[in-house]
Chains A and B, each alone.
Chain A
Amino acid sequence: MKEKKTHEEGLRIGVFICDCGSNIAGHLDCAAVTEYASTLPGVVYAKENLYTCSEAGIGEIQKGIKEHNLNRVVVASCSPRTHQPLFQNSCAAAHLNPYLFEMVNIRDQCSWVHMGAREDATEKAKDLVRMGVSKAAFLEPQQDIEASLIPRVLVIGAGVAGLSATESLANMGLDVVLVEKEAQVGGLLRQIHRLSPHGEKAADRIAEMAASVQSKPNVTLYLSSRVEDIGGYIGNFDVAIRPEGGDAVHEKVGCLVVATGAIPLKPEGLYGYDGKSVITQMELEERLRAGDMPGERVVMIQCVGARSPEREFCARICCQTAVKNARFIKQENPNAHVYILYRDMQMYGAENEQMLWDARGEGVRFDVYSPDRPPKVEEGKVSFYRPLTGEVVEIPCDVVVLSTPLLPREDALALSQLLRVPVDQNGFFLEAHAKLRPLDFATDGIFVCGSARYPANVQEAVSQGLGASSRIATILFKDKLITSAIVAEIDPETCVGCMGCMEMCPYEAITYLPEKNICQVNTVLCKGCGCCAATCPSQSARLKGFKPEQLMAQIRAI
């Protein structure tokens, strides 16, 4: 049965007032509000229900639509966040376009906040209903937006996080294009000697992950290649991949994963760093891999180039790295003297803390230093002020190992601009929400995992890679992408191309068309927030369902 026609038939608004048991009816006169609603212009039917969200209530709405030929429905009840989709679906089932439905909140915004003021609450509820009915008169039917989805994923970076995401995506039946700028996979792990807490060789771990990924027929691996250009949007990205010294290859994918990792800081100018007797943890890893023990007396200094005014953040994995390496040195040579000078030992969680105790038991020495009186590195010794005893201590040593933070790669910013995703004040990729969406970007269809997001150890990088693959599966397992019809549109006749809307858009959903000097909304990416419509000086940008005439009708109705 075709959807009802609307404008041609004249307004026929149905209003349903909900008692919500005693939640609303207990604090205002619902019968009076219903009676009042029936007198409003355009309203042909008004009904009071005990619980509109119940089966009976839904039945009343659908019966009302049918029997009274309604072409607009207003429900005055609770918050749209509870049942708006339910009511919209009920309208759709009764062949009324779901966007011809308007919800008025007379519970959270009325009965619940005006308990004990029954008369005033009733008057306010009438006002709210009047506003809702006025707006409903201007509602237009809308269609949800559909987009196709290519079941293929681009993973940028074949380190631990990228390999983990690739393996998981492939196992779930999706095609993966894995791009790595080096000649081999493995990322930073190729420079690492052994992993904590179990001491396995990093090389073995890479081999295991690489073998798994490379054996899958639905994984295409591009080594020594970079992503040169990306266009499109969720479901339909166009990617240009440039192998070293070769022609660009074009791939079409549905989603992207940023797994480009990070690099450790080389602390030039700090603590006499020279790469020979004063080295970084990464340089120590390389020596250990080569079987080159650093000497009998080792002093490690934590927080070098981090947790300072210039670089405030804590890079979280340097303490566990230092402890891991300290233990390894002691295990290989029980006579070795290993000292770790620290500010806080960031051995968070269960396994890490256990490593700390084990290290102490094995004879690794730990000493706290004050950031305002940092250790001094001199020829053959390190001296520092020990606050716990109030004295300056000298430690003779053969090598000093500086624990430096992982930093975003130099090309991270360029990639962020290519993808049009943000980075934070430290240069790490910025996720959509620090807590609830740690692996998503605000731009749909793009995800991040591993140290590109923030320094992560191997376990965390693997978990995040798996997590990103799950987030992608929630999109690409569907046949098509359906997004709400409540999106913005820009009138090409009146738009002057000032790009004010683009600056406001949090979702990168607006693009500028230079040949026409206008802006255009990508309705798939648009989330209907309305920032562009509020900004546009010529009212060319308008938000469907919240157009100026609809909002003005509501305001005039008060």
Chain B
Amino acid sequence: MERKDVLVIGGGIAGIQASLDLAEMGIHVYLLESLPSIGGKMAQLDKTFPTNDCAI
């Protein structure tokens, strides 16, 4: 099936989830992130509510 690619701008949790969903659908994704690595604000968090499990 001829499918166009998708560009996701931002590699935080939302960008990561969108990219993974699209990739699993068989769509090629370009994931762009301005910082040297993905993870966004969530990577800076220690634990997250309400389950208190690790952010990473």
Write the chain B residue with the least CB distance to A470. B21
- Whether, in the assembled complex, B51 has its beta carbon less than 8 Å from a beta carbon of chain A, the answer is yes
User: How far apart sit A106 and B35, CA to CA, in the bound complex (Å)?
Assistant: 31
Total interface residues in chain B, CB < 8 Å: 8
Q: Which of B20-35 contact A (CB under 8 A)?
A: 20-21, 24-26
Residues of A near B25 (CB, < 8 A) are: 470, 473-474, 477
Assess A434 versus B26: contact at CB under 8 Å? Given A471-B21, A473-B21.
Answer: no
Total interface residues in chain A, CB < 8 Å: 10
Q: Shortest Cβ distance from A475 into chain B, in angstroms?
A: 8
Residues of A near B50 (CB, < 8 A) are: 434
> What number of residue pairs across chains A and B have CB atoms under 8 A from each other?
19
Residues of A near B21 (CB, < 8 A) are: 470-471, 473-474
- Whether, in the assembled complex, A2 has its beta carbon less than 8 Å from a beta carbon of chain B, the answer is no
Write the chain A residue with the least CB distance to B26. A477
Residues of A near B48 (CB, < 8 A) are: 435
Q: Which of B20, B24, B26, B51 contacts A435 (CB 8 A)?
A: B51
Residues of B near A477 (CB, < 8 A) are: 24-26
User: How far apart sit A471 and B20, CA to CA, in the bound complex (Å)?
Assistant: 10
A434 touches B51 (CB 8 A): yes
Q: Which of A455-482 contact B (CB under 8 A)?
A: 470-471, 473-475, 477-478
Write the chain A residue with the least CB distance to B17. A436
Q: Shortest Cβ distance from A43 into chain B, in angstroms?
A: 36
Closest 9 pairs (CB-CB, A-B)? A474-B24, A477-B25, A470-B21, A473-B25, A477-B26, A474-B25, A434-B51, A474-B21, A435-B48
Residue positions of B touching A, CB distance < 8 A: 20-21, 24-26, 48, 50-51
Task: With A433-B51, A474-B20 given, name 12 new contacts (CB 8 A).
Answer: A434-B51, A435-B48, A470-B21, A470-B25, A471-B21, A473-B21, A473-B25, A474-B25, A475-B24, A477-B25, A477-B26, A478-B26
19 A-B pairs (CB sep. < 8 Å): A433-B51, A434-B50, A434-B51, A435-B48, A435-B51, A470-B21, A470-B25, A471-B21, A473-B21, A473-B25, A474-B20, A474-B21, A474-B24, A474-B25, A475-B24, A477-B24, A477-B25, A477-B26, A478-B26
